[in-house]
Structure 1
Amino acid sequence: MSASKLEDLFKSIETDDTVDSSLYDELKQGLISRSYNILEIVENLGILLVNKESALRKRGTEILSKVLGMLDKTQLNERELEFLLAFYCDRLKDHHSIVPDILLGFYNLSDMKHLPQDGYIKMFPAIFLNFNCQSQLILDRKLFYEILFKCMQHNLDGLKPMGPDFVYGVIQSIDGERDPRNLIFLFTTLVPLFLKNFEMYHLNEEMFDIMACYFPVDFRPKENDPDAISREDLSNALMPNLTAKPSFAEFAIPLALEKLESDLKVAKVDSLKLLTSSCYKFPVEKITESSKKIWNVAKNDSNAGDSDVRKGVVELLHALLTVLPDDEASGLFQVIYNHVKYSISTNIDKVLFVSNTNMLITISKDSKVCMKQVAILLIPILYNEINKTYNDEYIQILNEILEICSNNLDIRLSELTELSIAWNDLIELYFKLCSTSDCCLCGLNSLHSYLDLEQRKSMYSILYDGIKTNRESKEFQACLCTFAKHYQEEIVENVIFPLKNEIVDQNKNKNEVQVDNIQNKILEDLKQNDQTVYTKDEADSEFMKPLAYRRDEAGEEVPIFVAICPPARQTPVEELFIKNLYCPLISLESYLKDLSSDVIEYCLSQTSNDSCFRFCYQDCATNITYLKLIVDKYEEKYDVLSYFEKKFNVCQNVIKIFLKNVGNEAYSISFVLDCISILNTILSAFNKQDVSNKISVIQKVIVLSREILEEDINDVKLIILIPLLNNVDFTTDEQQIKDFQTQIEHFSSTILDTAISTQDPFINKYTSILLAIILNTVGDLNSNESVLNTNSLQSKLLSLPYNENVNTLHAYITKSLIMKGHTNIESMLQILVDNLKSYQEGKRVIESLKILIREDTVREDHFEFKNVRFLYRQRLFSFCLNNLLKNVSSTTKLQTDGDKNKIVKLNNYLAILIQLKHLPNQIIIAHVKTLLPIMIECLTLICDTQLDKKGTNGINETSPDMIEEDNPDTNTELDTYYDTHNFDEELQNLLGLFVEFLKSKMEILHEYVNSFVDKFLYIAQNHSSLNLRIAALQCLHYLSDLNIVVLMPFKNKVLEGLKLVLDDKKRLVRKQVVVTIDKWYILDSVEDSN
């Protein structure tokens, strides 16, 4: 069909009631053959697209959208696609009946190959502005969700530049969805992809709320619908999204605790599942903060009548104790034990006793510190109960404790001095009962590694008698297998040979029973008791004897019986690791050390920086990452790490791999930091293990460092010197050390030049740290003969433009000198103070002060300064406080730009306040008269400008699309400064200080009550941050504890101001404001003790 016939064809469609399906094939063929292009189709469709009748406009749009769906994704060029996007965006303003066809057009365009780079940036703002998703039909909403999903799948980079506008649009579109099938698509497909790939900006709570409104899911499917979606389907799909981002922790945990108090079983079970998932998904700090609240709510259901609720509580407590740090876990376990202590210690109710002991074991099974407490508390009780009245249930409970301690957590029960019974008494109890009790055999199976030779011989007598009497229980067979694996020679000598001799003597004229090989006997028993077990016809190797296997859930072959014959040097390391991944022997310390040696040897031999271990540990993308995994495992075992270093020269080999795989153009930051971490851990362990001869460590480090210095490098490779210099003791009076120190000093000019000239922030930071370590450790820095003369360094820094590189370098140099207690440090600090007089450089100086004040650790920062002067932070604060106040005073006197003066004052105040959280309370209280006015004025500067720019909080929120842009002509320089700097962190710290001051109820606080009330109310009503609104309300809460006579004039003002906050959209804010109002409301009813 030619282009000239298109107009006639579309005119005929105008008068027809239906569209012939052959039309679409003709249009498609015409486009493919290039008889006409898509623009000509749109032009000739004009007779329908601009018709007065909405039905005809709908028909024209439908034809165009369906034709697009039939085309190949590469058919249309960029110009055509740009035109079509503009066309459909404009069509969104048309009659609502046309919307489904417009959506179909967008759907077909969204993954076209040649879509313009900014196509999504033009498409989605128009959709979000003109298209109300929740007012559409179910299928149309589903189509729009599929458009979003397809765009996220095919071109994330095209969506991310829209930032919070796109995030807000998505949230607005899915908010209020009610159809269960659409919800399943959202929960399982769209929302997980959206949360995984997009930052939520300031919309974290909004995003959480649109999902939390469905929790717990209350839904009943239609009866007799075979394809109906169940309540469980929706609940299981929703749950992962509520914990998908760490920032959801502050909303998800309170929500689950609130719903857990419901009387509905569904609400309780879902809340327990959400809390359990939260423990594994959210940062451990958040879980630690809420652990006691979680227990206080969950304990009411720990003995609930419903088994599902009880099971949920146990799973929750297990998750809590597993993820909490040892100290917190131990404390929480003690609280839980105290809750059930009476029923366990008295054993009045046997059912309750068994239930509570099983609960304690289950919740502690993955926490070593808690399981130790379980053993200490429960083993004596169970021992006494079994001695009184034998009971299989009590034996089984005791067996489970022994199994977990021995095989899962490697707890040496025989070495627990806190146990109130003698260890041998427990062993004897088992021996006394095992001849008649299979449960006791299970216990001895777990205790095999604790038995001495005499006790094992008693065990072999029991096994011998059991084989003779055809004892066929699974417990007996398992016990036989375990002892055969670990004590093969003893089993052969004490069981097999006597048994064979007796059988031969008694059956000389009968067919002999073949028991020549203990491995074969074990394999036969395994296959008889488990049909999934099979063997292979493998020749014995130097590594292992005949094997038994079974398939795991993924179909992978898993060894269940392995007879190890170390050393295993001829088997490839990757095969060695696979075959022993599930082997019981992996828990033995000596075997682990041997296996780790093999793996380390393999990692160091592969200089290509690749890994064969990715299938085992997904985080181990390189050999170095896997090597770090092993080194970290032995971090506290200095003797093992020293053994690895002496045997394999780990440090030297890691440096070689580092130098080979790192270049200035391309390098992995994680790879660099992993190498540094390995060297730090190994050298530190080597140093601590060989305390009597530190010079050997120093010599080793010197050799390694000289290898790097001889490379004459001036890029990222310099960073590897950090762990080497971190472990040199320059105070040792050895000529070798002095020579090395001189060499390092001469090389420092290269490090300095690299830190200044590099364009890479990572290289700048760590070369600055490297230079700072050298300055902190070398001798006299004032000597004119020293290459690292501080006066020369200072002159060079002052001669350079004050950019990011110089700022970072100056910060770390200053920190190293002040920690060392250098005499001329005040001149370096004065540079920082002087730069704070410039409003443009103030923010950089504040970042420098954060570097100066914080504590560096080897684990997190990969370095630490060796020379640290006592009370250096107090010295820094004292200098800064006096000089920064002088800056403020001089700024106030100047008759210059008012906005710039405010910025300078604010920066100087912040430079003082950021130091306070690192100082002891005594120092802060000593300067409270100086600090309080500073804090209030700082609060005023932020409130008066930044909050006005940010707008209001959730009380009267406006859609981002409705916010008009500020007139640039009316923006002041102060407004621009506040727009480009976020002071939320500083404001949070500031309010935290006010809380601490108000808790102390110091007399001087009464002078500033008027300022407190105004500022705290203003933040509570207007700040966009949930946390800051809550912090301001907490300040008002503690303010009410001051003298009632001073507070009474402000009572009505506070209550009126807090009424506005009662309408806040955020539940946590409303909760805090209710508590604060209660405190102020009863202010005059509290009796004055005076």
Structure 2
Amino acid sequence: MSTLVHTEVIDLTNVIQLCNVLFNEIAITKLSQQTRYKILLALGKIIDTYSSELQRSKINFIEGFIHCMDGEKDPRNLIVAFALVRAIIERFDISRHIEDLFDVVFCYFPIHFAAPNDSTLEITTEDLKLSLRQCLSATPYFAYYATPLLIEKLLSTTGSAKRDTMETISLCAPAYGAHAILPHVHDLFDALTKEVYMGTDAAMVHVALDTIHNVVSTLGTGISIANIRDPVEKSIDTLLAQCIERLKEPELKNARSSAFILRAVASASDPACTSVTHAVLPIIYQEYKPTDPPQRRKAVLNILTELLIASKKLYGSVEDVGYDRDFQTPLLMYKQQILQVFVLSLIDPDTILQQASLKGIHEMVLMKQFLNKEEMNITVSHLTRQLGNEDGHIRNLCMTTLRIISKLLPESIAEHTVPAVLCELADQTHGLGNYQGALAAIQTLGVHPALFKIIICPLLEKLNYACSHIGQDNSVYCHELAACILAIYQATKKECVDIGHRKILPFVLNGCISSMIQSKWYLDDHLIETYAIMLAITTRLLQISDQKELIDNIWKVFVYGQYENQVYEQIKITSKTSHLAAQLFTAIVGNCHKNVQLPVGDITEFLNTLLEAALDSDFALSTTLSKTVAVIVNKWMNEQMLNYIYQATQQRLSPLLHEIDLNKKKTGFNIFIWLIKALVMRGHPYGFELLDSVVIQQCGSIDMGKDAAACFTILLHDDDFILCKSAHANISILYKQRVFNHCSNTFIRKSESADPQWPEFQTNYLLALLYMLQKVPSQAIINELPKLMMPIILSLSSHDVNLIVLTLKVTQDMIPNAQATIVQHLGSFIHALLRLTRFPDVQVRLLALDILFRLAQKGKSDILSPFRPSVVKELTSALDDKKRIVRKHAVDCREKWFAIKK
């Protein structure tokens, strides 16, 4: 039957005949579970396809369906049956079958199901509860029968059954409507508030509060149909009276519970919020007395905060997008009293009271159209004063609220907070105060473009003073101030390109150039790197015409040494002392668009000058100049440049790889690496030729092998500074995968055939392979894993700790996620990991246990069960490890493997 109804040959006549036979001639309850399941699926298909035709036919489909469903107990079948009930309610006229349909559904309430331990069912009790709940809430026709029964269940049940009842009422109330709820509302509220006041389970209390909220919200929809007093006001009168009585002792637990109830009620509808506000606010305000103990005053503040939260939920928050209501919060009538209470508490010396006050102020700031501009200014002033508070939690609360205000009213922050914060940073008139707190505040507030534009100039002045007068004695302050400026600039760069161009770029360039000439600023590697990043960010966002102008200017300075109508050798990038100049030059050139024409007559001559300077400099400067060469080759390659590269690599760089002097050899190899990177990124064949003749060949050398292996961390690294997409580099599609495919087979072959007398060669080849795997996207390697498993297992068997650690880090995510692909190697891999759980190095032991844990966590039982006994047995030694953290990981790992089904 199930197969038949899913074919196209069956028509309506056949369907009616099938239904007649099914409903009248077959004893459904005597059939097997699987057969009943298929019958229900067939009925589902019939409903989907023929619902309108069945209603016009003589067959009583709903009664027949009830006959099929009646007495069903299997959870798999019930899930389908409940879904069919909802489909029938949606597509059929159920007016003559309401009670029968309700009875066949409600008899399962409250439902519970405990699957046997060996069951493969994926159905849970929660699935069944939710499906049944959706049936009961599917139509308001059920209200007449369901409401009194649900109230009775609520009053008579406990534990999970009571929670299920509350959640069902919460879902059903909006569907049933106010007219169905009103006759039972007092019994309902009595039961729900009792759970809030007396409940010990926080989750149950939360469900009770949600139910109160949804019931009151439903009552609010009945205003238009009521011919009596407002149903909301009438129905919550008793509830409010109970809460108000308890609020008279605000420090007691019941008062706190009453506040939660009031929040649930007030956030439900405008009439409810109005009733709660006018009934409660005057009383609560009277309860706040400055002479009372702090604990009592804090309790009053907490109650007020709950009402503020309710109002924010109902009428909207400033953080809500596209949320708008016509109503205004009734709290506006009591705004001055509320503000007075919270401000008085904020200036109180008691820390707990201040914290409670700040939470309420935070909610007021979030509320839409609550505080006006003048009140917001007063709030900012008070919050700014608290930024100097010794209590870190109070400072954090203040900053959280000020961050919100900075989006709404940046001019207020600029007027009150910014001057106070800047006073903590040193200049000609102020000493150095609590600068770390000030920088934290700036980093929080300055990420908004409007505030960044206000604060950046004073910050640059502070940085100028710091580098000029403080750096030698307090370099950390200079580092943190520069890092703070960089952080807020990075956050606002797209909206503040003009500020970067007109303010930050000239500030950095003029300050650094002056320092190279006259030592005006304190500069170290950390500051130079920060300044270079600022220049890089600014350059890459400029228009091409502005980039062209900038390139022309820095070419005069750093290539020809011209600055303020004089020539200075020390600012040329070819000077041996020009590391700063080289970094700034590289930052700008490296982030220019490739359509910007370089202001040089013969590009090959310029490249040769850079190359010779790189060969004759210390390693740091040589690397920076090599990056500059790489950038130019990657972006501005032409035939003339390519011929020069052929010549330079063969005649100038290759001989250096055979030098006896190791420093010269490493310098030459480093230049090679950056040149290869520039070429392979743009997909040029010569880059891959150099990979073979330089990198792979050097992996087999004694003195350069490890450097050659590690060079893949440079070749395949995603640099944020230069040679990246945002820096306008030429990047061919899937260049990393191409490098991997080009080199991997060679490294695998060489590692397997390496001379045992020279184990370091094998280690180098394996390191190179693993460094590549570390940088190539894992999804690109999955299909290659079978051929990579032997080198991986070989690496885990090595005596080189660095190789083992690298292998474990590379494979800890990759292999657990691809176990089905490497089934034939899984045993050897697991055995290697188990051996490493006894390795002398603690990091190795932890990583091995972590991968074993992930294998069990993500693997399938049928794949892992053969290895379960040996893993559980061999992990015994790790359980006795001398390191506590290793023992903990071993326990977790063993438990995970032990849980794998045999």
The TM tier, using the shorter chain, reads 0.5 to 0.7
State the Cα distance separating 1:599 from its structure 2 match.
1.3
Deviation at 1:876, TM superposition (A): 0.2
Among 787, 796, 803, the residue aligned to 1:983? 803
Corresponding residue number in structure 1 for 2:672: 810
2:781 equivalent to 1:924? yes
Which residue does 2:691 correspond to in 1?
829
State the one-letter code of the partner of 2:653: L
Q: What residue identity is the alignment partner of 2:784?
A: H
The equivalent residue for 1:507 is none
**Gap change, CA 1:797 and 1:398, over 3 Å in 2:** farther
Whichever residue aligns with residue 1005 of structure 1, its letter is V
| 8 Å Cα contact 1:807/1:848 also seen in 2 | no
Change (3 A) 1:661 1:1073: same
Instruction: Tell me what 2:633 maps to.
Output: 775
Residue 774 of structure 1 aligns to a residue in which SS? Answer: helix
Q: 1:357-396 to 2 correspondence within 5 Å? A: 386-390=273-277, 391-392=280-281, 396=304
Paired AA for residue 396 in structure 1: L
Alignment of 1:27-66 (within 5 A): none
Identify the match of residue 880 of structure 2 among 1063, 1066, 1076.
1063
Residues 508 and 531 in structure 2, CA contact (< 8 A), matched pair in contact too: yes
* Alignment partner, residue 674 of structure 1: 530
Q: Distance in 2 between matches of 1:991 and 1:817?
A: 29
* Counterpart contact for 1:836–1:845, Cα < 8 Å: yes
Which of 327, 332, 335 does residue 425 from structure 1 map onto?
327
By how many angstroms is 1:986 displaced?
1.6
Q: What is the alpha-carbon distance in structure 2 between the residues aligned to residue 551 and residue 1079 of structure 1?
A: 48
The one-character-per-residue Cα deviations of 1:184-219 (angstroms, maximum 9, x if unpaired) are xxxxxxxxxxxxxxxxxxxxxxxxxxxxxxxxxxxx
Q: Distance in 2 between matches of 1:651 and 1:707?
A: 14
1:672 Cα deviation from its structure 2 partner: 0.9
- The alpha-carbon distance between structure 1 residues 1012 and 702, as it changes in their structure 2 partners (threshold 3 A), is same
Alpha-carbon contact 1:1021-1:1061 (below 8 Å) kept: yes
- Letter of the 2:333 counterpart: K
Matched, 1:705 2:555: yes
Q: Report the Cα distance in structure 1 between the residues aligned to 2:861 and 2:415, rounded to whole angstroms.
A: 77
Query: Partner letter of residue 672 of structure 1?
Result: I
Return the alpha-carbon distance in structure 2 between the equivalents of residues 644 and 1028 of structure 1: 52
1:416 equivalent among 307, 314, 320: 320
2:453 matches 1:633: no
Who is 1:842 aligned against? 705
SS of residue in 1 equivalent to 2:304 = helix
> Can you list the C-alpha shifts for 1:514-537, whole angstroms capped at 9, x where unaligned?
xxxxxxxxxxxx9xxxxxxxxxxx
Within a 5 Å distance, the mapping from 1:973-1012 to structure 2 comes to: 978=800, 982-989=802-809, 991-992=811-812, 996-1002=814-820, 1004-1006=822-824, 1009=827, 1011-1012=828-829
Equivalences for 1:1034-1045 in 2 at 5 Å?
1034-1035=851-852, 1038=855
Provide the rounded CA distance (Å) in 2 between the counterparts of 1:345 and 1:1027: 50
Does 2:576 correspond to 1:758?
A: no
Shift of 1:857: 1.4
- 1:435/1:645 Cα in 2 relative to 1: closer, same or farther (>3 Å)? closer
Conservation of the 8 A alpha-carbon contact between 1:821 and 1:869: yes
**Cα separation, 2, equivalents of 1:633 and 1:865:** 23
2:321 alignment partner, SS class: coil
Using the TM superposition, give the Cα deviation of residue 356 of structure 1 relative to its aligned residue in structure 2, in angstroms.
Answer: 9.8
Structure with greater contact order relative to length (CA < 8 Å, sep ≥ 6):
2
Distance of 1:563 and 1:882 partners within structure 2? 61
TM-score, normalising length from structure 1? 0.44
Partner SS, residue 837 of structure 2: helix
Q: 1:482 aligns with which of 378, 386, 401?
A: 378
Please give the secondary structure, in 2, of the residue aligned with 1:915: helix
Q: CA deviation at 1:345?
A: 3.2
Say if 1:808 and 1:382 are closer, same or farther in 2 by CA, change over 3 A: farther
* 1: CA distance, partners of 2:613 / 2:464: 32
Residue 342 of structure 1 pairs with residue 211 of structure 2: no
**Are residues 1:620 and 2:477 paired?**
yes
> Partner residue of 2:461?
602
* Structure 1 residue 852 displacement after superposition: 1.2
How much has 1:432 moved relative to structure 2?
3.2
Superposition map of 1:797-946 within 5 A: 797-800=653-656, 801=659, 803-830=665-692, 831-858=694-721, 866-888=729-751, 891=754, 898-900=756-758, 902-940=759-797, 942=798, 946=799
8 Å contact from structure 1 (residues 434, 441) kept in 2: no
- In the TM superposition, 1:460-499 aligns within 5 A as 482=378
- The CA deviation at 1:839 is 3.8
- How many matched pairs? 571
Structure 2 residue corresponding to 1:695, chosen from 545, 554, 574? 545
| CA shift digits 1:530-554 (9 cap, x unpaired) | xxxxxxxxxxxxxxxxxx9999679
Q: CA deviation at 1:676?
A: 0.4
Query: For residues 223-238 of structure 1, what are the structure 2 equivalents within 5 Å?
Result: none
CA contact (8 A) 1:756 1:806 kept: yes
Quick one: distance in 2 between partners of 1:358 and 1:632? 42
Matches within 5 A, 1:229-268: none
Structure 2 equivalent of residue 657 of structure 1: 511
Report the alpha carbon displacement of residue 402 of structure 1 after superposing the two structures with TM: 12
Cα pair distance change 1:1074/1:448, threshold 3 Å: closer
Counterpart residue identity of residue 274, structure 2: N
Rounded to whole Å, the distance in 2 between the matches of 1:784 and 1:438 is 72
CA distance, structure 1, for counterparts of residue 612 and residue 826 of structure 2: 51
CA distance in 1, matches of 2:433, 2:311: 23
C-alpha change, 1:876 and 1:429, in structure 2 (3 Å) is: same
Query: Residue in 2 aligned with 1:182?
Result: none
Deviation at 1:438, TM superposition (A): 5.6
Distance 1:1047 1:805 in 2: 53
> Which runs of 5 or more residues in structure 1 are unaligned?
1-336, 360-373, 406-411, 461-477, 487-525, 527-547, 555-560, 893-897, 947-977
Residues 344 and 353 of structure 1 are in contact (CA less than 8 Å); yes or no, is this contact kept in structure 2? no
C-alpha distance in 2 between matches for 1:382 and 1:397: 18
Q: Name the counterpart of 2:59.
A: none
Alignment of 1:213-228 (within 5 A): none
Q: Secondary structure at the match of 1:817?
A: helix
> Using the alignment, how far apart are the partners of 2:470 and 2:452 within structure 1?
20
Report whether the alignment pairs 1:789 with 2:606: no
CA drift of 1:1081 comes to 5.9
Matched letter for residue 704 of structure 1: I
CA RMSD of aligned residues (A): 5.6
- 8 Å Cα contact 1:382-1:398 kept in structure 2: no
* CA 1:347–1:667: 2 relative to 1, 3 Å: same
CA displacement at 1:997 relative to structure 2: 3.0
